[in-house]
Structure 1
């Protein structure tokens, strides 16, 4: 039994190490979160998650740490000075997507917290938004894992779909860059898709995506107020540190340092999602059914349509 326990721990820690370094590997970094989640799931399927390790505790620790470090990648001054004209576009897209998601949840009998995570992940910035919101609404590993899996799958599809759109739909660089930034979940796929159109589209998409990502702050604050309003407990401190990190990066420029810190944050997020995966049993995913996928697809289609309409206004 000791040999078996040792093998479980060795495999678990090896998988954790791989998950942590994935964001540092060129060509793989864009898919790090999804790969880490799948890797963790394989550990769970093999029943190699050590019972002696408090996975949930460390998952929360790494998630919160990742969120704080992501704050260093949000330069508020840059967004305001360069992307001021895009603020209303990202705000309108956010309102439409979240509203559609809330209405859709009434007609699709989906778990409330899973639906909320998919909604904010679609409306704002994929995995980063899920990571920021999940501690605030007290989402468990199953809800985080399912929502992240749905977002990751659709985000992967988006990269190829918008690459096709770039050649089939006659849009200007500004229009296509705006459309990609408002309709694709994660920054990596936004950048990849826009780059297939033109350098000008890439610049527009990058700035507008950064503007869109800033909406994490008010959304998290609103949810923290709503979810905690009738509960005992302190305000989640990671939100304060997240905002502080964003302010520091805005008023004390040091691009090289902040790029490094953000990359470390991505590595911590990848590790956190690996830990989420290790707690997911195949029966958990099977029991979730097709509803989260259906919810995510319908919501994303709505985001694509609204994003296109906003882009061509």
Structure 2
């Protein structure tokens, strides 16, 4: 009887623990989704619509963490959002990439896109070493600047084994600086000695996020917007080989150490599959738009999970030097790509 009672108590304890974990998981995921929703609403308000929903959600998460504290009771669900929702969002992000359009109509644009990625990463890392900045955060910022902003940072952070705080800080910085550059481009557009189509290509080759390219090119007309997005899609396309190169680099880097080697980025296989599905299957445009919105929202929820790990003190101690390196690299990317388009053309 005593053994039966003991086993019954143990079984009840297990049920209680499982229920607590389940509640922590569900409430944590809902928490990140709610803040992502709040960020979406905030991002539509005057003023905040300039920085967008994702950065608004990250700001809410960072303020919550530093004013109220980390919600430890729902950590399980928050960590799930930060890791697995992020990978799922990147898989859905593949539907935005029209591979056929990039390969057959991109032409010289891919050369410019490759130039952007090389300049952004090498300049950021060289300046980071010169400034004695945090190299891990600087690498994330260089990749985000060169490829496709926060989405690129989210895609490579598991490969590089970046910590959650670096990923969140990097995504926030990219969104903020990219917004400033977008406003600058829009202001300069009437004064530039280039055609409107060339301006669209320049935006796509040099600006940080797809949303930034759309915002900068849209005022010049639909044809300019189309060229800008085509140029930007080339950089998204180059995220695929870059990610596999980084994976091989991490395996070689850790080959002589005792730590576990970098995992294969399986979610990028999903990204490639969804890219092919979006390119070659007759999926209605409305459905693709809904998938794109879902991808952006889930990526925002994932960034909320990461943003809850950010200490404001770390922004001063760790982020300022990488930020300086990234801004200089962004200016160099804009300048070099502008001169190349003027001198060489399309």
> TM exceeds 0.5?
yes
Greater CA drift, 219-228 or 250-259: 250-259
TM-score normalised by the chain length of structure 2: 0.81
**1:155 counterpart residue number:** 178
Answer whether contact 2:159 2:265 (CA < 8 A) is retained: yes
Cα deviation, residue 258, structure 1: 2.6
**1:247 counterpart residue number:** 276
Determine whether 1:50 maps to 2:67: no
Answer whether contact 2:39 2:60 (CA < 8 A) is retained: no
Report which of the two structures shows the higher radius of gyration computed on alpha carbons: 2
Determine whether 1:19 maps to 2:36: yes
Answer whether contact 1:179 1:311 (CA < 8 A) is retained: yes
**1:301 counterpart residue number:** 331
**Aligned to 1:105, what secondary structure does the other structure show?**
helix
Distance in 1, matches of 2:262 and 2:124, equals: 28
- The change in CA–CA distance for 1:252 and 1:23 in structure 2 (over 3 A counts) is farther
Aligned residues: 306
76, 85, 110: which one aligns with 2:108:
85
**2:169 counterpart residue number:** 146
**2:302 counterpart residue number:** 272
**1:177 counterpart residue number:** 200
**Aligned to 2:334, what secondary structure does the other structure show?**
helix
Answer whether contact 2:29 2:81 (CA < 8 A) is retained: no
Distance in 1, matches of 2:290 and 2:72, equals: 34
Greater CA drift, 292-301 or 113-122: 292-301
Greater CA drift, 129-138 or 282-291: 282-291
Higher relative contact order (CA 8 A, sep 6+): 1
Greater CA drift, 109-118 or 83-92: 83-92
Distance in 2, matches of 1:233 and 1:85, equals: 34
Cα deviation, residue 30, structure 1: 6.5
1:148-174 deviation digits (Å, cap 9, x = unpaired): 222112111012100111012121022
Q: RMSD over aligned Cα, in angstroms?
A: 2.5
1:206-241 deviation digits (Å, cap 9, x = unpaired): 111111211111111111111123243641221211
Structure 2 unmatched runs, 5+: 1-25
Distance in 2, matches of 1:289 and 1:85, equals: 35
- The change in CA–CA distance for 1:20 and 1:62 in structure 2 (over 3 A counts) is farther
214, 218, 233: which one aligns with 2:241:
218
Greater CA drift, 187-196 or 80-89: 80-89
Greater CA drift, 269-278 or 92-101: 92-101
Determine whether 1:261 maps to 2:278: no
